[in-house]
Amino acid sequence: MTTRFRKTLCWGLVGFSAMLTVAAMGQDAAADATAAVVAAVEEPAVPSSAAMMWTLIAAFLVFFMQAGFLLVESGFVRAKNVCNIIMKNTMDFCIGALTFFLVGFGLMFGASSNGIFGTTLFGLGGAPEGIHSAWLYIFFVFQVVFAATAATIVSGAMAERTKFTGYIIYAAFICLVIYPVFGKWAWGNLLLGADAAGGWLGKMGFLDYAGSTVVHSVGGWAALAGAIVLGPRIGKFGRDGRPHAIPGHSMPMAALGTFILFFGWFGFNAGSSTDGANPVIGIICVNTLLSGAAGAFGAMIATWIFFTKPETGLTLNGILAGLVGITAGCDVMYPAMSIVVGLVAGLLVVCSVLFIERVLKIDDPVGAVSVHGVCGVWGTLALALPGFSSANASLVTQLIGVGAAFIWVFPTCLVLFLMLKAIGQLRVSEEEELAGLDVAEHGNEAYPRASWDGGGFDSMVPAHPAASHSGAPALSVQGSEPR
């Protein structure tokens, strides 16, 4: 363990402990502030026991999506970096949950007089008497898994070359400030009511039922900023600027992760009703299913046209693209139009991946920016298109919402990543990257060489140039693949 690492870790622990102390000390003051803001608001109704149970079950489904993200990212990276992915997806949830509890939840759902950020409920303290304590805790559990989803999206776009310490810092910051502040703008009224805590976007009429923009585009734009500042993996681009394939090590693992995400998405979307007795969950589940399936079909057709063969990695990403696209309007979209949303998302994710890689020269190993950022925008705008949904949504308001997300998240994260780069906590050394982050950062391997007989996982070359085992297809395979 280096001296710099020890200092970083120590200061991080000191800062975290200080936050915990401040949160505990401020609960009484928070209670007074909350009471003052919500005094004139009608006392919220206590949810039924069935609604509480439904919300908890949905939260557990979304929590299980962390395993899906872990498997997708692990499959799309090389064997020498799998332990690093495991650690990052584990700790972004665990650290994110703690920071969201201390600060993020209050910023997002606490009482607010400005519609920009909340000023109460830090550490779940200071809840008004009208909020049933059991519902407050259940609502927190449901919301913290959403915050963790926004944070974990960034992991894939910055895979295989990011320092673990830097990752922990920015994952914590996303759950601490980035996600909660925008969440306040769009969803701030979900706990205390619009009069007490509504955000400015929500009051304008911005619609995003389960988070195409609030969760997915926020994560996608943070991932874009990180990938730009971090730079591409060694060997990704040749001297002529052409991208080379860097195959992942396990397509079955990526496929399993995708289906786990598909399964968990029903909790993500239908759970946002927070009431299992609400008949809207029926149409939500139908739309979620149809859009995810159509996304896969659209991406498969696109890769068949572009590469003459249906490419596996991008087809899997097509499923996720369709799911991201329908998330904003899953409660109001007509089923036939949910298929259109998914088809367009599947086509869009392929085109976006190619554009980001070939034109912008940005290395995104799993296609996170395209799946979550770009398709999140598409889905948020689609619900306002004529004939697509039953919502009385304004396309201008929706555009303002997706624009506000980009303007808030991308520059803020760009500054954060530049600061991490300046202090040497963003990218590993060339030697560490070539050796693999499992050994360099964690001192172990997902697949110890003593447990398998010959044949390096890192030397596996796909049978076809398009089959890159990643979210982005290869343009060419020249010689042996870069380690």
Give the mean pLDDT of the chain.
86
Residue 135 vs residue 465, higher pLDDT:
135
Q: What is the pLDDT, as a whole number, of residue 3?
A: 55
Q: What is the pLDDT, as a whole number, of residue 455?
A: 47
The string of pLDDT tens digits covering residues 7-23 is 555 455 445 444 444 44
Q: What is the pLDDT, as a whole number, of residue 17?
A: 45
Instruction: For residue 69, tell me if it sits in a domain.
Output: yes
Residue 81 backbone class (left: φ over 0; alpha: ψ -120 to 50; beta: rest): alpha
Of 213-217, 240-244, 283-287, least confident by mean pLDDT is: 240-244
- Give the Cα separation of 292 and 335 in Å (integer): 12
The string of pLDDT tens digits covering residues 426-469 is 999 999 999 999 999 999 999 987 665 544 444 443 333 333 44
Question: Which helix (H) or strand (E) is 318 found in, with range?
Answer: helix 312-327
What is the total count of domains within the chain? 1
- Give the Cα separation of 183 and 206 in Å (integer): 12
- Give the Cα separation of 206 and 400 in Å (integer): 8
Cα-Cα end-to-end distance for the chain: 25
Average the pLDDT over 239-259 and give the result. 94
Instruction: For residue 466, tell me if it sits in a domain.
Output: no
CA-wise closest residue to 383 among 212, 264, 268? 212
Instruction: For residue 404, tell me if it sits in a domain.
Output: yes
Of 84-88, 188-192, 221-225, 398-402, least confident by mean pLDDT is: 188-192
Q: What is the DSSP string of 189-244?
A: TTTT-HHHH--HHHHHT---SS-IIIIIIHHHHHHHHHHHHH-PPTTSB-TTS-B-
CATH number reported for the structural domain that contains residue 382 in this entry: 1.10.3430.10
- Give the Cα separation of 99 and 105 in Å (integer): 9
Query: At CA 43, angle to CA 39 and CA 47, rounded to 5?
Result: 145
The yes-or-no verdict on residue 154 having pLDDT over 50 is yes
Instruction: For residue 261, tell me if it sits in a domain.
Output: yes
The string of pLDDT tens digits covering residues 291-321 is 999 999 999 999 999 999 999 999 999 999 9
The yes-or-no verdict on residue 481 having pLDDT over 70 is no
261 band by pLDDT with thresholds 50, 70 and 90: very high
163-191 residues labelled b (16+ CB within 10 A) or e (exposed) = bbbbbbbbbbbbbbbbbbbbbbbbbbbbb
Instruction: For residue 62, tell me if it sits in a domain.
Output: yes
CA-wise closest residue to 336 among 328, 326, 327? 326
294-310 residues labelled b (16+ CB within 10 A) or e (exposed) = bbbbbbbbbbeeebeee
Q: What is the pLDDT, as a whole number, of residue 12?
A: 52
CA-wise closest residue to 223 among 164, 174, 168? 174
The yes-or-no verdict on residue 32 having pLDDT over 60 is no
Average the pLDDT over 322-331 and give the result. 97
Q: What is the pLDDT, as a whole number, of residue 7?
A: 55
CA-wise closest residue to 403 among 385, 376, 383? 376
The string of pLDDT tens digits covering residues 359-389 is 999 999 999 999 999 999 999 999 999 999 9
The yes-or-no verdict on residue 39 having pLDDT over 80 is no
Q: What is the pLDDT, as a whole number, of residue 2?
A: 56
Query: At CA 449, angle to CA 86 and CA 167, rounded to 5?
Result: 25
Domain residues for the domain of 309 are 50-272+279-422
Contact between residue 231 and residue 361 where contact means Cβ atoms under 8 Å apart: no
- Give the Cα separation of 62 and 15 in Å (integer): 29
91-106 residues labelled b (16+ CB within 10 A) or e (exposed) = bbbebbbbbbbbbbbb
